[in-house]
Amino acid sequence: MATSNILPNYLLLLFFLLFYFSASTAIDIQIHHSTPPSSADSPLSSILQLARSADPARLSLLFSQKKTSGGTSVPIASGQNLLQTPSYVLRASLGSPPQALLLSLDTGSDSAWLPCSPCSSCTPAAPPFSPSNSSSFSPLPCSSPLCPLLNAASQPPCYAPSSSPCSYSQSYADSSFTAALSRDSLRLALDVIPNYVFGCVTSVAGPTIPKQGLLGLGRGPLSLLSQTGDLYKGVFSYCLPSYKSYYFSGSLRLGPAGQPHYARFTPLLKNPHRPSLYYVNMTGISVGRVKVVVPGQPGAFGFDPATGAGTVVDSGTVVSRFTAPIYAALREEFRRQVNASGAGGFSSLGVFDTCFSTDEVGATPPITLHMDGGVDLTLPVESTLIHSSATPLACLAMAEAPPNVNAVVNVLANLQQQNLRVVLDVANSRVGFARELCN
């Protein structure tokens, strides 16, 4: 009789321990979008403003970047709701004692940087980090081997004696900033990362510098993955909430633990000219059941490291862009199918050139992105269309790549990544996608 009572208790204890240890290895860092839509703004007007004001500079930044054990999850939120910026942000802290931060999540950047006190021309969204109030803060000298990583060899960042601080200037989109390379203790959820290297921004020029600072999630030597080594084992993922979300309901999940087992993976490619960016090989696009054909260009979707052509997964660009031939073919097939359902014509609005009556939204065909490895990413309607609450209008939420250095690149942007778990498994050279509701 005693034995029969002990066994259920033992199993209960075992279940508790398994639950405890599995849960303790995957703590979410929530994500939020940095700028909320005001009550007077429709989703269309908010996205249109971001696509017009932020995306051109963002795309310029993205492709100017040339070669030079357990899991933790951090909450992510829409920056529209908090800071009036087009990025997604997460909570972190820096220093001893810790000072609270909001940092932009950026897969297209390598290093971390944030406004420090004092800072010339800075307009931080929150009190800037105060190095003098942190006992663990230390500036890096010009003699540090990390100092030359921030500028091209022809433009070394230090012109002072080797014992002087490593001061450097860096461009970001159409703006720039000056910072001192520094170290301090970074906290992400329950993890403490000592001696984390970041830029302590002391002056800013231009309007597009993130007011709250930035956490670089690229593949460079000063990125989060490079600095944490075995802690996160070269794996992270994120789920971005809707632009309309007011809460830290998304998450940045660091490390292999807790990643979705049902994710579908495609190979992660590397462009030697832009090694920090996350390239995948998109093999085609379908509208409804029709495979889009790009006339005269059978290799239109291919990855070419020599030219930079291919498809990049990016958390910072708002609206997905496709090369001119691909976008023209996609748009025409989309219009053909919407017209077939009885729509009365199309109009343009800003970067969106395929807007139509919301009466036809119910018949809108799905769009599927095909990638190597058998990945078929079908976009939900909320990631395909953007609606206006002021007029009976909906627009195809995609656009043509700008006619410049970016003209050969497709960008899978954050509007098309909402409520999608994107897994960047750098250690195993693969990118995964899994549906996840994170609003």
How would you classify the pairing of strands 393-396 and 398-400? Answer: unpaired
DSSP 129: B
Distance, in Å, from the CA atom of 98 to the CA atom of 92, rounded to the nearest integer, reads: 9
Structure tokens at 157: 């960042």
Q: Mapping DSSP to helix (H, G, I), strand (E, B) and coil, where does residue 265 land?
A: strand
Neighbouring C-alpha atoms within 13 Å toward the C-beta of 264? 12
350: left (phi > 0), else alpha (psi -120 to 50), else beta? left
Burial 219-235 (b: 16+ CB within 10 A, else e): bbebbbbbbbeebbbbb
106 catalytic per annotation: yes
Candidate list 106, 110, 184, 425, residue with the active-site label: 106
- Cβ–Cβ < 8 Å for 423, 235: yes
Max CA distance (Å), the chain: 81
Among residues 55, 110, 191, 314, which one is catalytic?
314
DSSP 227: H
Contact 409, 63 (CB under 8 A): yes
State the Cα torsion 213-216-220-223 to the nearest 10°.
90
Q: Is 233 left (phi over 0), alpha (psi -120 to 50) or beta?
A: left
Q: How far apart are CA 41 and CA 387, in angstroms?
A: 11
Stated as kind and residue range, the H or E segment containing 339 is helix 324-340
Residue 23: CB atoms within 10 Å = 11
Note if 230 is an active site residue: no
414: helix, strand or coil: helix
Q: What are the residues whose beta carbons fall under 8 Å from the beta carbon of 16, sequence distance 6 or more?
A: none
Determine contact, residues 51/318, Cβ cutoff 8 Å: yes
Give residue for tokens 């693969």. 430
Q: What is the token pair recorded at 178? A: 């000056």
For 236, the 3-state DSSP assignment is: strand
Catalytic machinery residues: 106, 314
